[in-house]
Structure 1
Amino acid sequence: MAKKKVRARPSSDLLKLLATRPRAVALAALHVSESVLLELEASELLSAAEIRGLLKDASMTLRNAAEQADNRSCLVASEIVDSMRENFKRNKT
């Protein structure tokens, strides 16, 4: 039987940092996500076309959320994901 991994809770210092630096958190998440996608392609777990499809789906989900909740942040996030997709397409063709 496999042993379950126990995830440690973030420290209070980390939680305070996350709360006071939302732009930095978003930027870190963006770069980590992009790195994961590049690694998935490099290790041939996903093709470039599959990654572009994943980014397109994410963008559409954000765009739909923006329309339903009139949420400007979701719309901007959708535009960022679209930009990532375009850059990925440009660099892979």
Structure 2
Amino acid sequence: MAKKKSRARRSGDLLKLLATRPRAVALAALHVSESVLLELEASEVLSPAEIRGLLRDASLTLRNAADQADNRSCLVASEIVESMRENFKRSKS
């Protein structure tokens, strides 16, 4: 039972950290996502074209969410994802 309590505390600590550091959470998520996409390409699970398509879909989904909810954060996120797609496109050309 001691292990369960220590996990609960760590989880609680993580939740506090996530709540107090939203920018750091977003930055970590961005870097993890980029690393996953690069690894999927390197292991030939996804082609560069498929990755660009995935990023395009994500950008469009965020842009649509921004339009529906008048949510500035979704619009900015869409621009970030689109920038990732453009950078990926340039680096693979």
Q: Name the TM-score, length of structure 2 as normaliser.
A: 0.89
- Matching residue of 1:91: 91
Residue segments in structure 1 that go unaligned for 5+ positions in a row: 1-7
Partner residue, 2:12: 12
**Displacement after TM superposition at 1:81 (Å):** 0.1
Give the structure with the larger helix fraction.
2
Percentage of pairs with the same residue? 86
1:72 is aligned to 2:72: yes
Structure 1 stretches of 4+ moved >6 Å: none
Amino acid at match of 2:14: L
| Counterpart amino acid of residue 85 in structure 1 | R
User: Structure 2 CA distance, aligned partners of 1:88 and 1:68?
Assistant: 28
Q: Aligned pairs, how many? A: 86
Deviations 1:25-73 (A, max 9, x none): 0000000000000000000000000000000000000000000000000
Distance of 1:11 and 1:64 partners within structure 2 = 33
Q: Give the letter for the 1:74 counterpart.
A: C
Partners of 1:76 and 1:36 in 2: CA distance: 22
3-state SS in 2 of match to 1:45: coil
TM-score by length of 1: 0.89
Quote the offset at 1:11 in angstroms: 1.3
Structure 2 gaps, min length 5? 1-6
